[in-house]
């Protein structure tokens, strides 16, 4: 039986941007794109850009400033922000250590070709010309109180499931929903399930035993990603007796879970 395609975030095929100060890798789902983004410590602010779709930036390592329409917001490790469609935005590391984030894009992203290596979808091909952005000093305002704009995912209110063996919350954009599942190793084994849309599963902390119909069951450890296609049975639970934090990404937002992000209001 074939092995399911499990990828470590840090081993994804990366491409250089802006003279190698930004490195990116792509991973696609049916209606969304994840852009893994490494910001070099030497990166300074580059000219803002705009996108026709909402983005989410999930910041994992290091600190970075995310500027939206002239206002800079500091993201610490394990925090996130939504960049509304058409807003002028740019980001750069806040400390001396660089930063690593996962961005959630829509298929309209001009970076869709970064997922061509995946082979699950028709190749987009790299555009003939890609813009190099100029370095420009920041002249805007740094927002001191980012309450209601920047969220630390570990501090969000959670809902209990499976006798509270799983606690969950979510964060949304107009195009996607990211759910955060904090799973205790005591959780009862859940039977495989399926749905007619695809699902990205990312393990942040801990290790799960993952089942995907048609493939050998496998372990998925920290900083790994896997895609369950629509209508394919899948299941996963903690392995090794350790707590798990798993993030799932649904594009478009999964209607039956979107209430978990009601605290963000109407977008």
Q: Which residue is nearest to Fe ion (CB)?
A: 199
Nearer to Fe ion by Cβ, of 173 and 199: the residue is: 199
- Closest approach, Cβ 215 to Fe ion, in A, equals 15
- Closest approach, Cβ 66 to Fe ion, in A, equals 30
34-73 positions binding Fe ion, by CB under 5 A: none
- Closest approach, Cβ 114 to Fe ion, in A, equals 25
Is there a contact between 199 and 249 (Cβ–Cβ < 8 Å)?
A: yes
Rounded distance between C-alpha atoms, residue 203 and residue 227, angstroms? 12
Nearer to Fe ion by Cβ, of 138 and 257: the residue is: 257
Nearer to Fe ion by Cβ, of 95 and 217: the residue is: 217
- Closest approach, Cβ 86 to Fe ion, in A, equals 32
Rounded distance between C-alpha atoms, residue 156 and residue 14, angstroms? 31
Stretch that binds Fe ion, among 3-11, 152-160, 194-202, 217-225 (CB under 5 A): 194-202
Stretch that binds Fe ion, among 12-20, 56-64, 173-181, 195-203 (CB under 5 A): 195-203
Is there a contact between 9 and 73 (Cβ–Cβ < 8 Å)?
A: no
Site string for Fe ion, 197-216 (x = CB under 5 A): --x-----------------
- Closest approach, Cβ 145 to Fe ion, in A, equals 37
Q: Could you tell me how many residues of this chain bind Fe ion (CB under 5 A)?
A: 1
Rounded distance between C-alpha atoms, residue 102 and residue 158, angstroms? 22
Site string for Fe ion, 144-183 (x = CB under 5 A): ----------------------------------------
Neighbouring CB atoms inside 10 A of 266's CB total: 4
Is 80 in a helix, a strand, or coil? strand
Is 21 in a helix, a strand, or coil? coil
Nearer to Fe ion by Cβ, of 59 and 199: the residue is: 199
- Closest approach, Cβ 262 to Fe ion, in A, equals 21
Q: Which residues contact 180 (CB under 8 A, 6 or more apart)?
A: 153, 156, 158, 168, 169, 170, 171, 245, 246, 247
Between the alpha carbon of residue 64 and those of residues 38, 61, 70, 93, 170, the distances in Å are: 11, 9, 15, 4, 22
Nearer to Fe ion by Cβ, of 23 and 194: the residue is: 194
Residue 120, Ramachandran bin (φ over 0: left; ψ between -120 and 50: alpha; else beta) = alpha
Stretch that binds Fe ion, among 91-99, 137-145, 171-179, 196-204 (CB under 5 A): 196-204
- Closest approach, Cβ 250 to Fe ion, in A, equals 9
Q: Which residues contact 210 (CB under 8 A, 6 or more apart)?
A: 4, 6, 201, 217, 218, 219, 220, 226, 234, 235, 236
Q: By the criterion CB under 5 A, which residues form the site for Fe ion?
A: 199
């Amino acid at each position: 039986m074939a092995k399911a395609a499990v990828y470590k975030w840090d081993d994804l095929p990366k491409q250089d941007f802006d003279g190698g100060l930004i490195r990116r890798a792509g991973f696609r789902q049916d209606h969304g794109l994840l852009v893994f983004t490494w910001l070099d410590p030497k990166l300074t602010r580059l000219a803002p850009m705009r996108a026709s779709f909402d983005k989410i930036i999930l910041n994992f390592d290091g600190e970075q400033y995310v500027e939206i329409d002239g206002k800079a917001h500091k993201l610490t490790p394990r925090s996130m922000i939504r960049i509304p469609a058409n807003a002028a935005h740019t980001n750069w590391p806040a400390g001396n250590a660089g930063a690593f984030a996962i961005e959630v894009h829509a298929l309209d992203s001009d970076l869709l070709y970064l997922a061509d290596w995946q082979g699950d979808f028709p190749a987009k091909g790299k555009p003939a010309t890609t813009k190099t952005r100029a370095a420009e000093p920041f002249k805007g305002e740094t927002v001191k109180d980012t309450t209601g704009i920047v969220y630390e995912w570990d501090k969000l209110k959670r809902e209990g499931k499976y006798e509270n063996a799983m606690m969950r919350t979510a964060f949304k954009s107009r195009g996607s929903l990211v759910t955060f599942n904090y799973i205790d190793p005591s959780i009862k084994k859940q039977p495989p399930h399926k749905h007619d849309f695809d699902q990205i599963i990312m393990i942040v902390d801990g290790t799960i035993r993952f089942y995907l119909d048609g493939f050998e069951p496998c372990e998925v450890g920290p900083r790994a990603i896997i895609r369950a296609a629509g209508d394919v049975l899948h299941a996963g639970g903690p392995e090794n007796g350790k707590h798990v934090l798993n993030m799932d990404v649904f594009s478009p937002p999964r209607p039956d879970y979107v209430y978990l992000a009601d605290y963000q209001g109407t977008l």
